[in-house]
Chain A
Amino acid sequence: MTTPQPPDSQPNTRRDPVVRSVYNDQLNLAPPTNLPFDWLLEPPAAVTVPLETITVKTTGYVFPEGAACLVPVSQPASEFTPPPPQPSLAPSPSAGHSTAIAAETVDYVSLNLESCTRVRPPQDVVKLEDRLLYLLQPPLERVFANESLSFPFQPFPYQLDGIAFLYPRNEAVIADEMGLGKTMQAIVAMRLLAHQGQARRILLVCPKPLVTNWQREIALWAPELPVAVVDGKQSRRQWLWENVDSGVLLSNYESLLRDREAAASAPFDLVIIDESQRIKNRLSATNQAVCSIPRRRSWALTGTPIENSVEDLVGIFQFVSPGCLRPQMKVSTIRSAVKDHVVRRTKDQVLTELPPKLFRDADLALSPEQQQAYQLAEEQGIVRLHEMKRELTIQHVFELVLRLKQICNFDPATGVSAKADRLEADLEECAASGRKAIVFSQWVHSIELLHERLQRFGPLQYHGKVPPKRRDHVLDQFRNDPDRHVLLMSYGAGSVGLNLQFAGYVFLFDRWWNPAVEDQAINRAHRIGAAGPVTVTRFLCSGTIEERINTVLEEKRELFNSVFDPASPTSPASKLGLSREDIFGLFQLQFPDAAA
């Protein structure tokens, strides 16, 4: 641009005769002759302001689907061939391996198109073109509608967010609190990938008791997906691993471990592991079997990504994103490293309409018989531990803890139990109101004693001694028989994956070693679909080992929050889990090495 000059520095065009002459010539004007004044006005001062041409630089991409539409002009438009349809996972006639579980009769609905859930690119997608392709996709609701995919129920908005989180990710963990619908989110994301031809061969690994639950859920949320359960004789399993090249292979961890070589023989487009805390020990055979499966996408589902220490997360990430986490990493480093891979929502955050969960801590005094047995066992036990000196191991201390906890449940000589008395009284109220209760215990023996004692409430048992084939029947009875008011469950068999939201009461007859497993247990009842508030009663015998363990459990809760809730202060490493020192500390014992 030309900078305007001050008036004095410009040529005086009005006075300059040469300029004046040119001016007249160019305008082709002849001066009138009869005017009493010089008609030719002095030309005004002029400033030249050249306008720069605005140039625009652009960045652009033709995406794969658009590139398929580009047809050279030599080809007549009428001969345009549309892009090939997306591959479908509809069961092929040869898919005779499918194990179908019919969904309950439900009216399927389309998603509400007024909401708008967007798929966002994961951080590890670096190329701008790829990131834009994610951002420019239609909202998830439209994608489902355009694929003509309908659902048995309208998902909650946070569930659609979870699906939008999983869909673009090769490495993802859904760590929602129990009861928020991780199963459904994984199935719907899997369904979408299958419909778009991005996932053809899928492996789903879950604990054995949950296999039928997964079959049922897949039949409900993705009825068109063929499912083959890896079970039965070795020859049948081998055939399934080697020949099922589309649809969902559903295996439990034990089968996978047995068939690890066959399972790793061909790659999967997607591997989902449910209750992924099962592979928290990165040196375990299960972890190594799961990690050895060749795969393009790795998704893990867990409500309790950290049960004991942050090392649990390292084990899970060995499957999800190998190399992302290393042992001994700082909590703050882990938090930032997993941020883009993990989604975790709690009920408080997303289910504001879920009925409340009411906690009652039943602090009980031991009965005189129990008190006597407890004191004797503790005194003798501690004396024995002290006598062992350098031969003392953690196993010896554990044995004493277990012994004392069992006495807190029942007096071994008489069978008297303060907890059972209280439970019986509470169940009276529960049964009278026509409601159902779940009672959790660590020991099958305690469950069997309770079973005898609670006969008038129609108790059912669900634990490791109940054959897996009978377990679904037990749950059906509990769900449908109005005279069955109580389900007695062990933490090991019944704390994960089951939907028992029709139960309004949960009793923790004794306490587990970590709060995550207790939460899992509680959330069998307190989950989506719960009709009313869930009352959780935690039995605790005061002045006993149970009280001391409870203190350690509270510290574990702090640890969990320090990784998944940035607002919480970081817990010091000394508070991680139930350490050796913690266990010895229950009896004011010192670990032999430390003492030496």
Chain B
Amino acid sequence: MASEFAKPLSAFGFLTALEDPQHGFFGGYLVLSDLGRPLEFHCSTPVLPNEAQKILYGPTLRPYVLGEIIGQTLVSKGQLAVQAVITDLDEILTLALFRDEPVLCLDSKETTSADQTPVVSAPTLAMGDHRLFGSSTCTWQAEQLQAALAPLCSHVDLSEPFQRIREAIREAQRISQHPAEQQHDHSAAA
């Protein structure tokens, strides 16, 4: 869909997912202006792999579900072209195989555990206090991306939009699961 429109001056996609043991993975994709204001948002219904998929995909299950299934679906729903897609889950980097936009992962304590160290050969770039890295197969130019991300980083802490997405996913789930509750809240306030 994004291809139907010209590229806006500066828009950046933020993609992440929430994992719920009962319902599976909920994805959320937020497009921000370089001032950090929300332009567009998409979230998914929960995706719960079945037992066969868990067995057969093994360790590749999460990259498959998060990057290939949820990530690809959400980003393709976006109507605004973005300069880059940033995620805080390194499994989502598989999205880079299916999209033209650069896909970067925010290197944080949450994503970088001992067994999930970023691939050494992956390109990295530093933006203020944050470090971003791509997949080992990505082809983006660090200098160009750094220049493109600079205006965003002067207005937004790169780890912060993911909090917004998680809150929005929870809200969307709350409303869709308990529409009566919302109605009740409204009538109580009125």
Task: Check B45–A135 contact: CB distance below 8 A.
Answer: no
B175 to A69, Cβ gap below 8 A?
no
A-facing residues in B21-62 (Cβ within 8 Å): 27, 29-31, 33, 35-45, 47, 49-50, 52-53, 56
CB distance from A7 to the nearest CB of B (A): 19
Is A146 within 8 A of B155, CB to CB?
A: yes
Q: Are A113 and B175 in contact (CB under 8 A)?
A: no
A138 contacts B53, CB within 8 Å?
no
A336 to B184 Cα, complex, angstroms: 12
Return the chain A residue nearest B65 by Cβ. A54
Instruction: Determine how close the nearest CB of chain A comes to the CB of B155; give it in whole angstroms.
Output: 6
> Is A132 on the interface with B (CB-CB < 8 A)?
yes
Interface residues of A in 54-78 (CB under 8 A from B): 54, 56-63, 65-66, 69-73, 75-77
User: Is A137 among interface residues, defined by CB-CB distance under 8 A?
Assistant: yes
Q: Smallest distance from the beta carbon of A596 to chain B beta carbons, Å? A: 43
Residue from B33, B50, B70 within 8 A of A52 (CB atoms): B50
A185 to B76, CA, bound (A): 42
Cross-chain contact B50 with A137 (CB below 8 angstroms): no
B38's nearest neighbour on chain A, judged by CB, is A136
In contact, A77 and B7 (Cβ under 8 angstroms): yes
> Given the complex of chains A and B, what is the CA–CA distance between A138 and B37 in angstroms?
6
Q: A383 an interface residue at 8 Å Cβ cutoff?
A: no
Q: Please tell me if A30 contacts chain B, counting CB pairs below 8 Å.
A: no
Q: Let me know if B39 and A66 touch, CB within 8 A.
A: yes
Q: How far is the CB of B68 from chain A (nearest CB, A)?
A: 9
* Closest chain B residue, CB of each to CB of A333: B188
Alpha-carbon gap, A469 to B56, bound state (A): 84
Bound complex: CA A62 to CA B5 (Å): 13
Q: How many residues of A contact B (CB 8 A)?
A: 51
- The one of B31, B56, B164, B190 that contacts A324, using a Cβ cutoff of 8 Å: B190
Q: Does A283 contact B (CB under 8 A)?
A: no
CB distance from B154 to the nearest CB of A (A): 10
Give A70-88 interface residues, CB cut-off 8 Å to B: 70-73, 75-77, 80, 82
- The minimal Cβ–Cβ distance linking B129 to chain A, given in whole angstroms, is 11
Pair B157/A56 contact, Cβ less than 8 Å: no
Residues A58 and B74 in contact, CB atoms below 8 Å apart: yes
> With a CB–CB cut-off of 8 A, which chain B residues contact A388?
none
Complex Cα distance, B159 from A113, in Å, reads 13
A63 interface neighbour in B38, B77, B167, Cβ under 8 Å: B38
In the bound complex, how far is the Cα of B155 from the Cα of A139, in angstroms?
A: 11
A137–B5 alpha-carbon span in the complex (Å): 24
Q: Are B52 and A51 touching (Cβ within 8 A)? A: yes
Q: Please pick, from A60, A137, A324, the residue contacting B40 in the complex, using a CB distance under 8 A.
A: A60
Interface pair A142/B41, CB less than 8 Å apart = no
Interface-forming stretch among A122-130, A360-368, A543-551?
A122-130
**Would you call A485 an interface residue if the criterion is a C-beta within 8 Å of the partner chain's C-beta atoms?**
no
Do A56 and B70 touch across chains, with their CB atoms under 8 A apart?
Answer: yes
Interface centre among A60, A71, A76, A341 (most CB of B within 10 A): A60
Q: Please pick, from A70, A72, A75, A323, the residue contacting B190 in the complex, using a CB distance under 8 A.
A: A323
Cross-interface CB contact of B155 among A73, A80, A132, A145, cutoff 8 Å? A145
- Compute how far the CA of A116 lies from the CA of B9 in the bound complex, rounded to whole angstroms: 27
Q: Is residue A340 within 8 Å, beta carbon to beta carbon, of the partner chain?
A: yes
In the complex, the answer to whether A123 meets B185 with C-beta atoms within 8 Å is yes
Chain A minimum-CB-distance residue to B37: A65
A residues in contact with B65, CB < 8 Å: 54
* Contacts of B138-190 to chain A: CB distance below 8 A: 155-157, 160, 163-165, 167-168, 171-172, 175-176, 182-183, 185-186, 188-190
Q: Which residues of A contact B33 (CB under 8 A)?
A: 65, 69
Give the complex CA separation of A588 and B176 in angstroms.
61
A135 adjacent to B168 (CB under 8 Å): yes
Task: Give the complex CA separation of A341 and B190 in angstroms.
Answer: 10
Tell me, rounded to whole Å, the shortest Cβ–Cβ distance linking B64 to chain A.
Answer: 9
**Bound complex: CA A539 to CA B50 (Å):** 76
Answer yes or no: B11 CB below 8 A from chain A CBs. Answer: yes
Question: When each residue 10-28 of chain B gets 1 if its CB lies under 8 Å from chain A and 0 otherwise, what string results?
Answer: 0100000000000000010
Q: Is A35 an interface residue (CB 8 A)?
A: no
B89 at the interface (CB under 8 A from A): no
B9 is contacted by which of A82, A128, A340 (Cβ under 8 Å)? A82
Q: Measured between alpha carbons, how far is A69 from B4 in the docked complex, in Å?
A: 13
B80 contacts partner chain A, Cβ-Cβ < 8 Å: yes
Q: Contacts A60-B77, A142-B36 given: A72-B4 contact, CB under 8 Å?
A: yes
Q: Could you list 14 A-B pairs, sorted by A, with CB under 8 Å?
A: A49-B52, A52-B50, A54-B65, A58-B45, A61-B42, A66-B79, A73-B6, A77-B7, A82-B9, A116-B163, A132-B168, A138-B160, A142-B36, A340-B185
The 5 closest A-B pairs by CB, nearest first: A66-B39, A60-B42, A136-B38, A69-B8, A138-B36
Contacts A59-B42, A66-B80 given; 9 further ones with Cβ under 8 A? Answer: A58-B44, A60-B29, A63-B38, A80-B8, A116-B160, A136-B165, A138-B155, A324-B189, A336-B188
